[in-house]
Amino acid sequence: MTKRFTTLGRYPTTRLRRNRREEWSRRLIAENKLSVDDLIWPVFVQEGSKSRTPVESMPGVDRLSIDLFVEAAREARDLGIPAIAIFPETDPKAKTPDAREAYNPGNLVCRATAAVKKAVPDIGIMTDVALDPFNSDGHDGIVRNGQILNDESVEALVKQALVQTEAGADIQAPSDMMDGRIGAIRKALDSKGYQHEQIMSYAAKYASAFYNPFRDAIGSSGALKGDKKTYQMDYANSDEALREVGFDIEEGADMVMVKPGLPYLDVVRRVKDAFGVPTYAYQVSGEYAMLRAAADRGWLDWNKVLIETLTGFKRAGCDGILTYGAVDAARLLQSK
């Protein structure tokens, strides 16, 4: 529980505005500081070469072919961004009910991972573990008779995590919300000699309406039948988030994530206070889209709201933030 203050001081001997009067003083009393070390940059990749496709619902975000992705990774590394998360647009023809393209070692994610690891070995690569880019039903798990199967999905997710790790990915980030997947992936990685490869679990991931632009970006919106409420969490809950996080830590997660970001900062704070493990949040596509759309109309100042929101994540207890604004934020932090 939050501490109650007992010594309050009293106006006029105490004036809280004194400390805020000068810029140097405000810097001196700042409790949190956003740094480039806190940023993870999610990037969308597509087939082809020398090609980029703007994501309509995410102004300023392009899907990149692998060669341009490698250049982007080099730029991110030069700016000091520690890690990149890869999300693929899969050819609709490769999508099947069993999502087998997810564990094809030659798939787009694996090729993109290997290309970056070769050209820019010192940036961390995080790959998503979920079936939705590969599933003809647009779900994160395997669907049969309208049910999203848990244990069969976990088997496919384990295979996916293995091919991505073999391709050179450093962090497996299961975003699927199936029960038991963290333990199964940890066990499989360990048994293949990948004891040092990390897992960042999307531990408290909510069934949110803020993911729509992402689904456009990876081309899964058309495929999705129904919603994800039988596996992603109900946004009314936060005790349940602690249970989810606790399970994932027990199963071997090295880092945990709360998703979406801004509307869920209370959950971040509870998770950080309860467990004290490396805790992250994802400022998701819909959060990016709403800030950018307002900024493009001149209603908000993008640079200011970007840094303000990211600092808010830090204040809530985040050790880092996944944000589509990572490169912009890194440049702003550098020029300060």
Q: Which of 175, 279, 309, 323 binds ligand PBG (CB under 6 A)?
A: 175
Q: Is 211 in the site for ligand PBG (CB under 6 A)?
A: yes
Q: Is 128 in the site for ligand PBG (CB under 6 A)?
A: yes
Q: Is 244 in the site for ligand PBG (CB under 6 A)?
A: no
Q: Is 130 in the site for ligand PBG (CB under 6 A)?
A: yes
Site for ligand PBG in 252-311 (CB under 6 A): 284-285
Shortest Å distance, C-beta 336 to ligand PBG: 27
Q: Is 132 in the site for ligand PBG (CB under 6 A)?
A: yes
CA distance 219 to 215: 6
**With CB under 6 A as the contact rule, which of the stretches 64-72, 95-103, 124-132, 141-149 interacts with ligand PBG?**
124-132
**Is the distance from CB of 148 to CB of 230 less than 8 angstroms?**
yes
Q: Is 214 in the site for ligand PBG (CB under 6 A)?
A: yes
Q: Is 216 in the site for ligand PBG (CB under 6 A)?
A: no
**With CB under 6 A as the contact rule, which of the stretches 92-100, 127-135, 238-246, 310-318 interacts with ligand PBG?**
127-135
**With CB under 6 A as the contact rule, which of the stretches 29-37, 70-78, 104-112, 125-133 interacts with ligand PBG?**
125-133
Q: Is 201 in the site for ligand PBG (CB under 6 A)?
A: no
Shortest Å distance, C-beta 85 to ligand PBG: 8
Q: Is 89 in the site for ligand PBG (CB under 6 A)?
A: no
Shortest Å distance, C-beta 14 to ligand PBG: 44
Q: Is 251 in the site for ligand PBG (CB under 6 A)?
A: no
**With CB under 6 A as the contact rule, which of the stretches 10-18, 19-27, 61-69, 128-136 interacts with ligand PBG?**
128-136
Q: Is 170 in the site for ligand PBG (CB under 6 A)?
A: no
Shortest Å distance, C-beta 140 to ligand PBG: 5
User: What's the 3-state SS for the chain?
Assistant: CCCCCCCCCCCCCCCCCHHHCCHHHHHHHCCCCCCHHHEEEEEEEECCCCCEEECCCCCCCEEEEHHHHHHHHHHHHHHCCCEEEEEECCCHHHCECCCHHHHCCCCHHHHHHHHHHHHCCCCEEEEEECCCCCECCCCCCEEECCEEECHHHHHHHHHHHHHHHHCCCCEEEECCCCCCHHHHHHHHHHHCCCCCCEEEEEEEEECCHHHHHHHHHCCCCCCCCCCCCCCCECCCCCHHHHHHHHHHHHCCCCEEEEECCHHHHHHHHHHHHHHCCCEEEEECHHHHHHHHHHHHCCCCCHHHHHHHHHHHHHHHCCCEEEECCHHHHHHHHHHC
Query: Would you say 119 or 293 has its CB closer to ligand PBG?
Result: 293
| Cβ atoms < 10 Å from Cβ of 96 | 14
Shortest Å distance, C-beta 72 to ligand PBG: 17
The sign one gets for the Cα dihedral 137, 178, 116, 69 is: positive
For the annotated catalytic residues, the residue numbers are 205, 259
**Which residues of the shown chain bind ligand PBG in the complex (CB under 6 A)?**
128, 130, 132, 140, 175-176, 211, 214-215, 228, 284-285
